[in-house]
A and B are shown apart, each in its own frame.
Chain A
Amino acid sequence: MPTIPQARLRNFSIIAHVDHGKSTLADRILEMTHAIDARQMTSQVLDSMDLEREKGITIKARAVRLDYLARDGQHYGLNLIDTPGHVDFSYEVSRSLQACEGAILVVDAAQGIEAQTLANVHLALAQGLVIVPVINKIDLPSAQPEVVMDELESVLAIPREEVICVSAKEGTNIDLVLEAVVARVPPPKGDPDAPLQGLIFDSHYDAYKGVVAYVRLAAGTLHKHENIRLMASGAESEILELGVFLPQPAPVPTLVAGEVGYVATGLKSVRDCQVGDTLTVAARPADHALPGYKLAKPLVFAGIYPMQGEDYGELREALEKLHLNDASISYQPESSVALGFGFRCGFLGLLHMEIIQERLEREFALELIASAPSVEYAVTLTNGRGEVRVDNPSRLPPAGDIEVISEPWVKASVVTPSQYIGTLIELSTSHRGTFDTLEYLDAQRVLITFELPLAEIIVDYYDQLKSRSQGYASLDHEPIGYRPGQLVKLDVMVAGEPVDALSLIVHRDRVQSTGRNLVEKLKELIPRQMFEVPVQAAVGSNVIARETIRAMRKNVLAKCYGGDITRKRKLLEKQKEGKQRMKRVGSVEIPQEAFLAVLRSGEAT
């Protein structure tokens, strides 16, 4: 691979709202620069996990080094850094952007600007990136590039002359995009002789090479025989391999300031080498780290339990393996009377939770049951005994010990066609939100901002936003800190025994209806037992809803002749298996499906 001087390097990302065609554009760019033969191209090369391809989103960032022969006759080294396209991963996006000087902004010609478009552009501008605006999908009959140009101009002050209209699907005008990257995105700066500062913008765990860090060098030169140090974690190691992705890994002897590549560290866990940390050389360390590092912090928590109790060990191993690759997951053993042994897991958001759960089920063949997701509450104790953090409603201290419960709030940005303004404001206020601002993006579309408790978003706000706007509204949100709330713990009791897995922290105004829904649902789902079973919802010792499951009166009185004997025995054997799979709360047998149904239904929370 030819060495390319810093002046002819371009480091850039592609930012877009989900489904606006980021990955397809990346594929075309890879083809154009011959990184990939069109024939061996599997669609969306950068998304290497099956799940990413299925969900049409990019979960982990990837970086590819491209050789581009520009119209000026010169070879340029283009580093394309892919970014995750979901709000759950906005910290990762910001670190990827920090590794770049420019960003291609992709906007769908039919959809226009969406909530995440705005969020991502603001992140890019905050990093001082040059934006190369691209309107994609101009091949669609519903494409309205002129309208989208108006939006870009009025909302983001992007002059229409700068906008490039492309069809990534059909390969139209991709060359113009690459030319614009070369012409508009500035080359990286950074003194090759200074002490080394490399930004970790992604990493993955490899069974042979340990943690492989994706790094953008801001200053200095890294040689393959050097020992490295991570400035935040303090971890040190010998470099096992230094290289760039073409997109297959290609070892190189050195990486120079401005370049993007990978370092195989031999480290045993991505915890030692987290996104945002600064890589330096142990022998001649930089005197300060690059700005912006923070530990990825879970925002959403849920209990994850194996359906079969004996799979607990396998679940633990699977979580350990995933955690090697994804430091943002947290997991702590917990046990539940109803669900047995499992783990309290923390995730960046609901999508992240869904992805991890699916990976556990798919890659490790586990059958799982997850409790209702919860946020982390800050509980101030009485008599100045300080504050505790609670991410599991059943662990909330007794009401008498609680001075106040605070919960995380977010600022939510919603982009929607204007006819849904009314219903979405109604939706937000009914989810304890307060309306903040409303701004017209064009004649038909508006940006509305609200402040909402995060707990409301993770319950059903997003689904309802989509259904009330017939799929047109988009959502982005960012944390704005903790606020005290009128929150209480709602317990569910079956035959007088609390069912820990169903405890919830609920706003006082909602507790009555939530409690009623829960007991009614459980009454339907719990089969009749040998005795009468009361199902109650209670706040402290105060029962707010009650249903009674009457005692079972009949369990089959049928004929039993010669041909029925074997058949009946087999049916009984099946019943017996079913009984053995049931979870026991006190003396009540509850089928796992009943928990699943309650936990999956929106009404549970």
Chain B
Amino acid sequence: MVAVPRALYVHIPFCLSLCPYCDFVVLAGRAARGPASRVAETVRALHVELDLRADALAAAGVEAAPLASVYLGGGTPSLLSAEQVDGLLDHAARRFGLASDAEVTIEVNPGPADRGDLAGFRAAGVNRVSIGAQSLDAEVLAHLGRRHRPEDVADTVAAARAAGFANSNLDLLYDVPGQTPESWQRTLTGAVELDPTHVSAYALTLDDPEAEGLTGPVGDHLPVTPGARKWRSRARDGQDEDRAADEYATACASLAAAGYRHYELSNWARPGSESRHNLAYWRRDAHEALGPGAHAFDGVSVRRWNAARLDAYLAALLPAEGVAPCLPPGGTDRIDAETARSEAAILGLRLDDGITAESAAEPVVAAGIAWALAAGLAERIEREGPRIALTPRGRLLSNEVFVRLLPDADAV
């Protein structure tokens, strides 16, 4: 038995330039624009994959239900033309159905060259923009290798508003090398002044997908370039646990004062503007996914992903004349029942609502929850029944809690 996917993720793997800290599947430079651009080809392949995925669901007997959210992520999906976006949304609506009140998000880079045709996107049915602002401090932006200037963020917010977008998100980064508490406070204040409906604030995370074994032929990540690798190792030295904790506290205070609800560890929203798409991930709802490196979940026990390599992706979906297209290479991860309960608790505790007292009593997590309660990292709350949620300190130390909610290795 699998659940009906009500969320669809579409990955657009192109940016004008690579940011050294970014882990997403992205190609830049000639692949992203100009005569050698591979964007059009990829969009064609996405259409083919969309059909194949819809066929597969139908063949598995999953009844279609209209999508409640579509998320065009990347990469920089705003590099697509309005026609391309329109074509994809139209195709998704035809194959899956699209609820009339669906949340349809597109990620947008604030730079003038990659902001894209916001009015066209709106006309195509997009109703939410997520803006990769990162910072409103020119120095921090330069340090992060971003192409845009602080004022581009305000321009983009204004342009989106003018194009008729009522919902907007700003992505912000803290614990950036060289970032001062004052700079972070200015960025937060500036962001609040722009009055987005949603703010995501992440501590800069510098992982090594290669060391995690994610960059092989069917891995969901591309190998890290030598330049980015060097940048990350230098940047790690410039990070600081105490500054990060202080900056998180600043974000909590500033955004709460401005009326945003801190509904997930790193996400704030005007009440009612919480990201429906992302909530689907945190609530372990089924979601479908298209594009290289994209992940889907059947809502029960199977997570699957497409391999990150674009060539293999295109070769499978756009074969030579007369050859039938097939699904791109990738992998699957089967989640047993115990791991599923652990996963549900870990994801649920990211949310301010936490998890029900009943699910917190599941044997796989009960000891970890008891530890977190005793350590002051979790607390009992009342919200349509008894629940367990993280305390402010528990949010900062969430991994300390999560690691204790995993099943024992030998039990798996």
Residues of A within 8 A of B (CB): 528, 530, 550, 552-563, 565-567, 569-573, 575-577, 579
**Residues of B contacting A556 in the complex (Cβ-Cβ under 8 angstroms):** 203, 205, 398-399
Tell which of A530, A560, A575 touches B350, judged by Cβ atoms closer than 8 Å.
A560
* Residue on A nearest B278 in the bound complex, by CB: A561
* Residue on A nearest B174 in the bound complex, by CB: A557
23 residue pairs A–B, Cβ–Cβ below 8 Å: A553-B242, A554-B203, A554-B244, A554-B248, A555-B397, A555-B398, A555-B400, A557-B202, A557-B265, A557-B266, A557-B398, A562-B9, A562-B289, A562-B294, A562-B295, A563-B294, A565-B295, A565-B343, A565-B347, A569-B406, A571-B212, A576-B403, A576-B409
Tell which of A560, A565, A576 touches B303, judged by Cβ atoms closer than 8 Å.
A565
**Residues of B contacting A560 in the complex (Cβ-Cβ under 8 angstroms):** 265, 281-282, 347, 350
Q: Indicate if B132 sits at the interface (CB-CB under 8 A).
A: no
Q: With A557-B266, A565-B303 as given contacts, are A573 and B397 in contact (CB-CB < 8 Å)?
A: no
Q: Among A552, A562, A575, which residue has the most Cβ atoms of chain B within 10 A?
A: A562
Q: Judging by beta carbons under 8 Å apart, are A575 and B399 in contact? A: yes
Q: Judging by beta carbons under 8 Å apart, are A576 and B245 in contact? A: no
Give Cα A571 to B399, complex, Å.
10
* Residue on A nearest B209 in the bound complex, by CB: A567
Give me the 6 closest cross-chain CB pairs, A-B, nearest first: A553-B245, A555-B399, A563-B295, A562-B295, A558-B205, A554-B245
Q: 1/0 contact trace for B378-406 toward A, CB 8 Å?
A: 00000000000000000111111011101
Q: Indicate if B297 sits at the interface (CB-CB under 8 A).
A: yes
Give Cα A559 to B172, complex, Å.
11
Q: Indicate if B115 sits at the interface (CB-CB under 8 A).
A: no
Q: A552-B241, A562-B295, A565-B281 are in contact. List 12 more A-B contacts (CB 8 A).
A: A530-B375, A553-B396, A554-B241, A554-B245, A555-B398, A557-B265, A561-B281, A565-B303, A571-B207, A575-B399, A576-B403, A576-B406
Give Cα A561 to B244, complex, Å.
21
Q: 1/0 contact trace for B209-230 toward A, CB 8 Å?
A: 0001010000010000000000
Q: Judging by beta carbons under 8 Å apart, are A566 and B333 in contact? A: yes
Q: Indicate if B78 sits at the interface (CB-CB under 8 A).
A: no
Q: Judging by beta carbons under 8 Å apart, are B403 and A572 in contact? A: yes
Q: Indicate if B296 sits at the interface (CB-CB under 8 A).
A: yes
* Residue on A nearest B204 in the bound complex, by CB: A558
Q: Indicate if B346 sits at the interface (CB-CB under 8 A).
A: yes
B374 CB → nearest A CB, Å = 11
* Residue on A nearest B251 in the bound complex, by CB: A557
Interface footprint category on B: 35 or more
Q: Judging by beta carbons under 8 Å apart, are B212 and A570 in contact? A: yes
Residues of B within 8 A of A (CB): 9, 200, 202-203, 205, 207, 212, 214, 220, 241-242, 244-245, 248, 265-266, 278, 281-282, 287, 289, 293-297, 303, 305, 333, 339, 343, 346-347, 350, 375, 395-400, 402-404, 406, 409
**Residues of A contacting B347 in the complex (Cβ-Cβ under 8 angstroms):** 560, 565
B219 CB → nearest A CB, Å = 11
Q: Judging by beta carbons under 8 Å apart, are B212 and A558 in contact? A: no
**Residues of A contacting B333 in the complex (Cβ-Cβ under 8 angstroms):** 566
B85 CB → nearest A CB, Å = 20
Q: Judging by beta carbons under 8 Å apart, are A559 and B266 in contact? A: yes
**Residues of A contacting B265 in the complex (Cβ-Cβ under 8 angstroms):** 557, 560
Tell which of B266, B295, B375 touches A558, judged by Cβ atoms closer than 8 Å.
B266
* Residue on A nearest B393 in the bound complex, by CB: A553
Q: Judging by beta carbons under 8 Å apart, are A567 and B212 in contact? A: yes
A552 CB → nearest B CB, Å = 6
Q: With A528-B241, A557-B248, A567-B212 as given contacts, are A552 and B397 in contact (CB-CB < 8 Å)?
A: yes
* Residue on A nearest B402 in the bound complex, by CB: A572
**Residues of A contacting B202 in the complex (Cβ-Cβ under 8 angstroms):** 557-559
**Residues of B contacting A571 in the complex (Cβ-Cβ under 8 angstroms):** 207, 212
Q: Judging by beta carbons under 8 Å apart, are B406 and A554 in contact? A: no
B274 CB → nearest A CB, Å = 14
**Residues of A contacting B396 in the complex (Cβ-Cβ under 8 angstroms):** 553-555, 557
**Residues of A contacting B398 in the complex (Cβ-Cβ under 8 angstroms):** 555-557
**Residues of B contacting A562 in the complex (Cβ-Cβ under 8 angstroms):** 9, 281, 287, 289, 294-297
B24 CB → nearest A CB, Å = 8
Give Cα A576 to B409, complex, Å.
9
Give Cα A572 to B407, complex, Å.
11
Q: Judging by beta carbons under 8 Å apart, are B397 and A566 in contact? A: no
**Residues of B contacting A566 in the complex (Cβ-Cβ under 8 angstroms):** 295, 303, 333
Q: Judging by beta carbons under 8 Å apart, are A552 and B400 in contact? A: yes
* Residue on B nearest A556 in the bound complex, by CB: B399
Q: Judging by beta carbons under 8 Å apart, are B241 and A530 in contact? A: no
Give Cα A569 to B338, complex, Å.
13
**Residues of B contacting A561 in the complex (Cβ-Cβ under 8 angstroms):** 278, 281
**Residues of B contacting A570 in the complex (Cβ-Cβ under 8 angstroms):** 212
**Residues of B contacting A563 in the complex (Cβ-Cβ under 8 angstroms):** 220, 293-295, 305
Give Cα A530 to B393, complex, Å.
10
**Residues of B contacting A528 in the complex (Cβ-Cβ under 8 angstroms):** 241
Give Cα A553 to B393, complex, Å.
8
Q: Judging by beta carbons under 8 Å apart, are B397 and A554 in contact? A: yes
Give Cα A552 to B202, complex, Å.
19
B262 CB → nearest A CB, Å = 12
Give Cα A1 to B120, complex, Å.
103
Q: Judging by beta carbons under 8 Å apart, are A530 and B397 in contact? A: yes
Q: With A553-B242, A566-B303, A567-B212 as given contacts, are A577 and B200 in contact (CB-CB < 8 Å)?
A: no
A554 CB → nearest B CB, Å = 4
A166 CB → nearest B CB, Å = 53
**Residues of B contacting A559 in the complex (Cβ-Cβ under 8 angstroms):** 200, 202, 205, 266
A354 CB → nearest B CB, Å = 32
Q: Judging by beta carbons under 8 Å apart, are A575 and B241 in contact? A: no
Give Cα A183 to B350, complex, Å.
90
Q: Judging by beta carbons under 8 Å apart, are B399 and A572 in contact? A: yes
Give Cα A571 to B205, complex, Å.
13
A140 CB → nearest B CB, Å = 44
A603 CB → nearest B CB, Å = 23
A528 CB → nearest B CB, Å = 7
Give Cα A567 to B200, complex, Å.
20
* Residue on A nearest B249 in the bound complex, by CB: A553
Give Cα A364 to B38, complex, Å.
56
Give Cα A181 to B95, complex, Å.
98
Give Cα A249 to B51, complex, Å.
79
**Residues of A contacting B296 in the complex (Cβ-Cβ under 8 angstroms):** 562
B305 CB → nearest A CB, Å = 7
Give Cα A558 to B244, complex, Å.
12
Q: Judging by beta carbons under 8 Å apart, are B346 and A569 in contact? A: yes
Q: Among A528, A530, A553, A577, which residue has the most Cβ atoms of chain B within 10 A?
A: A553
* Residue on A nearest B412 in the bound complex, by CB: A573
* Residue on B nearest A530 in the bound complex, by CB: B375
**Residues of B contacting A530 in the complex (Cβ-Cβ under 8 angstroms):** 375, 397, 400
Q: Judging by beta carbons under 8 Å apart, are A573 and B406 in contact? A: yes
* Residue on B nearest A574 in the bound complex, by CB: B212
B368 CB → nearest A CB, Å = 10
Give Cα A553 to B212, complex, Å.
25
Give Cα A583 to B253, complex, Å.
38
Give Cα A550 to B205, complex, Å.
22
* Residue on B nearest A528 in the bound complex, by CB: B241
B5 CB → nearest A CB, Å = 11
**Residues of A contacting B402 in the complex (Cβ-Cβ under 8 angstroms):** 572
Tell which of A552, A558, A569, A573 touches B203, judged by Cβ atoms closer than 8 Å.
A558
A531 CB → nearest B CB, Å = 9
**Residues of A contacting B242 in the complex (Cβ-Cβ under 8 angstroms):** 550, 553
Give Cα A437 to B203, complex, Å.
65
